[in-house]
Structure 1
Amino acid sequence: MTTDGPPAVGGRVEARTARVLLDRMTITRLDPPVDGRAGVAVFEKRGPLLLGRALIAVRADGDVARVLWLEDVHLAGLPPTLTRVVLRPVLAGMAALALRAVRRELRDAGRAA
């Protein structure tokens, strides 16, 4: 994943899934966690293949973090109603992989500290 700078509304993010699928996004909402409320980020997907939105909310819950990851995504150039259904299990798998990678990075960082 690459960004054009620190996270901010209007910031651009590029992610590659399995080093193949390019996912370009713009941050359209970025609310930090406050007083026990979840931090929320919304991303507008800009193609070239995926279009739509993703919302990720993270809330601390004791020693763990609770994550809500919602996506309304479709393939560019094809009917959104059809491709949303086809993409749903693929996107769920991609989100699970991303969350596992974050968990591994946090665990490794904790060992290094």
Structure 2
Amino acid sequence: MPTVTRTLPLPADRAWDLVADARNHARWVPFTRVDVIDGEVVAVTGPRARRGGRGLVDRMRVDRFDPPSGGRPGVAEFVKVGRVLLGSARIEVTPAGPDAARVRWREDVHLAGPLPRRLTAAVGAPVLAAMVRRALRMAADEARQERAHHL
């Protein structure tokens, strides 16, 4: 189960707005579009997905969405409810000073179907870890640009 942690140079509430809103993830995950349809997050990944084409569909139900408050971490939990991808994702945003927040993003994903859950989770873990590292690196780049723009 890949877990990636990174500190963003933004206050926790702003970091939360950036990383917990799944629609922003489309900027960071290649070949992916993200829509929110009837309260469900639908990410589609494929060579033409950003232009409306088909791809691998990742449907997620938002089970928890508690922003950080009063020094308490924010927690977003997504449950994958698709035909192909199952599991969960959790994003935690913890204040790390007045202008910094620690983001911890965990993915526990496996394929539906005849292959064992442990096998498909293990095979997919390196890809998910790379995706999450890239997403948080790009979020950190956006955070630095935002911060520089406001100074």
TM over 0.5: yes
Three-state SS of the structure 2 residue aligned to 1:34 is coil
Percentage of matched positions with identical amino acids: 50
TM-score (norm 2): 0.62
Question: Could you tell me which residue of structure 2 aligns to residue 93 of structure 1?
Answer: 130
Three-state SS of the structure 1 residue aligned to 2:82 is strand
Q: Higher strand share goes to which structure?
A: 1
Higher relative contact order (CA 8 A, sep 6+): 2
TM-score (norm 1): 0.79
Question: Could you tell me which residue of structure 2 aligns to residue 4 of structure 1?
Answer: 36
1:15 maps to 2:30: no
Question: Which segment drifts farther, 91-100 or 19-28?
Answer: 19-28
1:76 maps to 2:104: no
- CA deviations 1:15-70 (Å, max 9, x no partner) are 34575644221111111112111100000112343211111101120132111222
Q: 1:107 to 1:65 in 2, by over 3 A?
A: same
Q: 1:75 to 1:82 in 2, by over 3 A?
A: same
CA contact (8 A) 1:17 1:94 kept: no
Structure 2 runs not aligned, ≥5 long: 1-25, 27-33, 48-54
Structure 1 runs not aligned, ≥5 long: none
Paired positions, count: 109
CA RMSD of aligned residues (A): 2.3
Three-state SS of the structure 2 residue aligned to 1:15 is strand
